[in-house]
Structure 1
Amino acid sequence: MPDTQIHAAPHIGLPSYTPHPARSFALGEVHARPFRAVSSPRVFLRYGFVVDEEAVVADNAWFRDYCQSIGAQGPDEAVRHHLVRVGDTGLRRELHGEFVTYTWDGPLPASGDIEGAPAGHPFGAGFRPPGPLLVAVRLDLVKADGEAFSRQLERFDHASLAVSEVEDGAAIIASDFRQDGDGLTRMIIGDRSLSDVQAGVLTQRLLELETYRTFAMLGLTEANRQAPRVLAIEQGLLGIADRMRAIDGLDANRTLLDELTRLAADLEAGAAASAYRFGASRAYYMIVRQRLESIDERQRGGSFTFSEFLTRRMAPAMRTCETLEERQANLSRKLARAATLLRTRVDVQLQEQNRGQLEAMNRRARLQLRLQQTVEGLSVAAVSYYVVGLMAYLTKALTKSRFGALLPAPEIMTGLAVPVVLVVIFLMVRRIRKSHGDTEGHP
């Protein structure tokens, strides 16, 4: 067989196109929160602060200065996640939609002591919180067979203690979801045989679980704030409905329509103010459920699992938010129907009032026409009287002229002129009135 030579095709560079402004963000978001391999014993502190746009800008500037002060490179303005490593510790800043989290992790003593504040944490006097604090959690990763783990289990409130086995029994997680003396929610992982990657994944999921659980509960505070207002609007609508059946008259219905419009405006203002909060709470609750499913718990020793404990307490809160949203939506529809009914009644009464006014105008027009006809008749007589008088003067003058002998007496001539003058004046007035009518009918 003849030898066959394979020639490699020369490399041709692919064209470059103008990227979409959000392309870098969309590609980088997948790698924004990578799991970091960690090993026990280790401690994690996370603080979450509610921020607005101005607070984010100020916090970006402060964090860049902080990074420079410890000899590290600060993030760019567009970066939402940034990790700073100092020795064996790390500080991660994450910017979310409405809050910023700072998460620090560092080693625990070899003895696994978890009492007191961990050494080397940055949340001291030099730390600048970007906004009001909402999330504060401490997570300790220690050996499951160590004294620190068993001692912390004893300190938890057993009335609300949740304990689970995860990672096929490679670890035990526990928390009572209460705050310690420093205002931190304490969580602990008892490491049996976790790999460093498994430990990193589990710690991050638990920290996110506590973060989103706390923010999801903000919907309940908004529901409690809106509930009295919704109740007052419901009672106001009921009162208006009762009065609608009992009263009549245009002014009364207009007064009710004004009251109904004010109720609808109050409802829409409250619904608009709470729409974002309820939507965000639903999204956070879904994340909590996803995190609970991902850790794949198994019950241990008859205690609650994290899923059982949080579901029993969060599900009613989320249902309260959903119920209030449904009440707002139903109330909005009822207000719209009542307003439509009232507007219809007002329109009908206005039409009846307008019809009465038109009938009154027609009656006045007919009276004016009769009066005009009467005046016209009188005017014919009056004008005829003056014309006949003028003709009397004329006949007297003619009889005294040289032709006077040929003419009848002035009285006879004046009397004969009366019917002629009346007919002529009547025809003239009639013609004038007809010309005026034609002018009014054609612009």
Structure 2
Amino acid sequence: MDYSKLNHPLRVPLSAEIHSRPFLQLETPENLTHFALYIEPAHATNLNPRAQQHRILQELCLHYGVPGPHSQARYFFHDFGRFRLKWEFHTEFATYTFVERRTDRIDWQQAFQHLPLRHVPQEWLAGLQGKIIVAAHVVLNKSLLRAATEISDMRYVFEGDMLVGSHAGNGGVVWTDFLIQPDGFSRFVVHDIDLKEFQAGRLIGRLLEIETYRTMALLALPQAEATQPQLTAIEKDLATLIVAMEQSDQDINSNRSPDDNGYAEENLLRRITGIAARIEKLSVNNGYRFSASQAYFNLVQSRIQELREGRIEGIPMLAEFMGRRLTPAMNTCTSVTQRQETLATRIARSNDLLRTRVSIEQERQNSQILNSLNARSAQQLRVQQAVEGLSVVALSYYLIGLIGYISKALKAANLPINPDILNGVMAPVVAFGVWHGISKLHKKLKSSNN
């Protein structure tokens, strides 16, 4: 029986996902060059982000006559002879890690002049202009020295005054300064004192991830700094609007006309709607960048914990350096996010308050209109009752006139009838009959309407 037919369609790809990005297998000594290429927005080119990065990788493979990965691949590894290449595709960037085995004839202090990047075609490197967000060199060296005695050697390799280092990975020592050196690359030195199999690859992989995720996390900082003045302006506009709302309350209690009150409330509602649109635009523009940076920051913290650092006397560890430099930057982004959310909540409350006031004003105006309609209806009823009284008189007059004509005709027929007496007797009877008939008609219409 073919049991593969019983599988869920996603079982195989989901199982492969956890193995899709293995660490490099490194044997001391090794030299590495690491690039992270930022993915341009899809609207800037005719290619989607993955196609952009595959095109760059295909150009490099084509130069060496090597078949590239399939179009949906997120990971690629190949030994090009003079160097090995590991390529990974991420959501916002793609990484290229070039690895070269170093001969023992080259001292590790001179290793930064003998890197695998020299084997990469310059035309391909020139085509990366404007895309590189991270560039780092790593030297993996076998060492039996104590870390404390290496500090003077590190001063030769790193030109900055700030030196960061620690024992890491239960058998390795890591050195860096997180600065971009004059050659345009940051530098890492890893001494293999007693690293077990695959530990060197895992250690250097975590270091490169820290460097990459650190930079990607900091992408939100310029955006946060640019957002703060805009938030300040919105806060000032909101404060001015609230003062105007308070002044409007005082004007409502004054002798200002209802039309003026309605116009003022409508103007305030337009203003607060505009402020709400501005804060919503900022939230939309910043939402993805800030949330992504927080995710990268979490990854940096996770990778630092995985290093299991031990202190080198007098030298700050990577965790301390990140806590002092990276954490405040991320706190700035977090504070801007919270400030946006708080301001949006305040605007929403002000908007609800103003809409409630507008609703109350509309109800007051509607009440005035209804009172006016009631007064007009009462007036129309009085007029109608007066008209109905005249109608009774008029109808009675015509009926009595008919009775008079009939009585005169009967008198002319020599019947003993006095028309004047008959009209006088019938006048109140006719008037009462007409009034009673109209009253019954009104009651009948009223009961049918109910």
**TM-score, normalised to structure 1's length?**
0.84
> Aligned match of 1:426 in 395, 417, 435?
435
Instruction: State the one-letter code of the partner of 1:323.
Output: S
The question of whether the paired residues in 2 share the 8 Å contact of 1:52 and 1:98 is answered with: no
Residue 111 of structure 1 corresponds to: 106
Residue 160 of structure 1 corresponds to: 162
SS of corresponding position for 1:236: helix
The question of whether the paired residues in 1 share the 8 Å contact of 2:53 and 2:94 is answered with: no
Residue 205 of structure 1 corresponds to: 206
Residue 38 of structure 2 corresponds to: 49
**TM-score, normalised to structure 2's length?**
0.82
Matches within 5 A, 1:262-273: 262-273=274-285
Matched, 1:232 2:221: no
Residue 80 of structure 2 corresponds to: 86
Q: Summarize the Cα distance change of 1:24–1:275 in structure 2 as closer, same or farther, 3 Å threshold.
A: farther
Matches within 5 A, 1:181-260: 181-192=182-193, 194=195, 197-248=198-249, 249=252, 251=262, 252-260=264-272
Looking at secondary structure, tell me which structure has more helix per residue: 2
SS of corresponding position for 2:72: coil
Residue 258 of structure 2 corresponds to: none
What whole-Å deviation, never above 9, does each CA across 1:54-74 have from its counterpart, x for those lacking one? 121243355346535534343
The question of whether the paired residues in 2 share the 8 Å contact of 1:165 and 1:172 is answered with: yes
Instruction: State the one-letter code of the partner of 1:373.
Output: Q
The question of whether the paired residues in 2 share the 8 Å contact of 1:82 and 1:93 is answered with: yes
What whole-Å deviation, never above 9, does each CA across 1:348-400 have from its counterpart, x for those lacking one? 33333322222222211111111100010011112222333333333333333
> Aligned match of 1:124 in 105, 122, 125?
122
Residue 438 of structure 1 corresponds to: 447
Q: How many percent identity over aligned positions?
A: 32
The alpha-carbon deviation at position 87 of structure 1 amounts to: 0.6
What whole-Å deviation, never above 9, does each CA across 1:270-307 have from its counterpart, x for those lacking one? 22432332222222112212222233334446233222
Residue 348 of structure 2 corresponds to: 336
Matches within 5 A, 1:374-393: 374-393=386-405
What whole-Å deviation, never above 9, does each CA across 1:118-162 have from its counterpart, x for those lacking one? 45443631355498332222223346699x997773353433332
Bigger mean CA deviation after superposition, 320-329 or 203-212: 320-329
Residue 407 of structure 1 corresponds to: 417
The question of whether the paired residues in 2 share the 8 Å contact of 1:55 and 1:131 is answered with: no
> Structure 2: where are the runs of 5+ without partners?
43-47, 253-260
Distance 2:33 2:124 in 1: 19
Residue 306 of structure 1 corresponds to: 318
Matches within 5 A, 1:135-150: 135-142=134-141
The alpha-carbon deviation at position 331 of structure 1 amounts to: 2.4
The alpha-carbon deviation at position 83 of structure 1 amounts to: 0.7
The question of whether the paired residues in 1 share the 8 Å contact of 2:60 and 2:124 is answered with: no
Residue 38 of structure 1 corresponds to: 27
Q: Summarize the Cα distance change of 1:98–1:149 in structure 2 as closer, same or farther, 3 Å threshold.
A: same
Distance 2:409 2:305 in 1: 129
The alpha-carbon deviation at position 174 of structure 1 amounts to: 2.5
Bigger mean CA deviation after superposition, 23-32 or 208-217: 23-32
Q: Summarize the Cα distance change of 1:116–1:72 in structure 2 as closer, same or farther, 3 Å threshold.
A: closer
The alpha-carbon deviation at position 318 of structure 1 amounts to: 1.2
> Aligned match of 1:363 in 358, 362, 375?
375
Matched, 1:97 2:108: no
Distance 1:68 1:17 in 2: 38
The alpha-carbon deviation at position 82 of structure 1 amounts to: 0.9
The alpha-carbon deviation at position 327 of structure 1 amounts to: 1.8
The question of whether the paired residues in 1 share the 8 Å contact of 2:136 and 2:185 is answered with: yes
The question of whether the paired residues in 1 share the 8 Å contact of 2:84 and 2:100 is answered with: yes
The question of whether the paired residues in 2 share the 8 Å contact of 1:81 and 1:95 is answered with: yes
SS of corresponding position for 1:208: helix
The question of whether the paired residues in 1 share the 8 Å contact of 2:173 and 2:191 is answered with: yes
SS of corresponding position for 1:289: helix
SS of corresponding position for 2:161: helix
The question of whether the paired residues in 2 share the 8 Å contact of 1:46 and 1:138 is answered with: no
Q: Summarize the Cα distance change of 1:49–1:343 in structure 2 as closer, same or farther, 3 Å threshold.
A: same
SS of corresponding position for 1:372: helix
SS of corresponding position for 1:103: strand
RMSD: 3.1
When the two structures are aligned, how many residues end up with a matched partner? 424
Distance 1:415 1:238 in 2: 85
> Aligned match of 2:363 in 351, 356, 374?
351
Distance 2:166 2:363 in 1: 73
Moved over 6 A (4+): 148-152
Bigger mean CA deviation after superposition, 356-365 or 174-183: 174-183
SS of corresponding position for 1:247: helix
Q: Summarize the Cα distance change of 1:300–1:195 in structure 2 as closer, same or farther, 3 Å threshold.
A: same
Q: Summarize the Cα distance change of 1:119–1:214 in structure 2 as closer, same or farther, 3 Å threshold.
A: closer
The question of whether the paired residues in 1 share the 8 Å contact of 2:28 and 2:192 is answered with: no
Distance 2:226 2:302 in 1: 28
The question of whether the paired residues in 2 share the 8 Å contact of 1:89 and 1:106 is answered with: yes
Q: Summarize the Cα distance change of 1:72–1:19 in structure 2 as closer, same or farther, 3 Å threshold.
A: farther
Q: Summarize the Cα distance change of 1:283–1:154 in structure 2 as closer, same or farther, 3 Å threshold.
A: same
Distance 2:132 2:118 in 1: 21
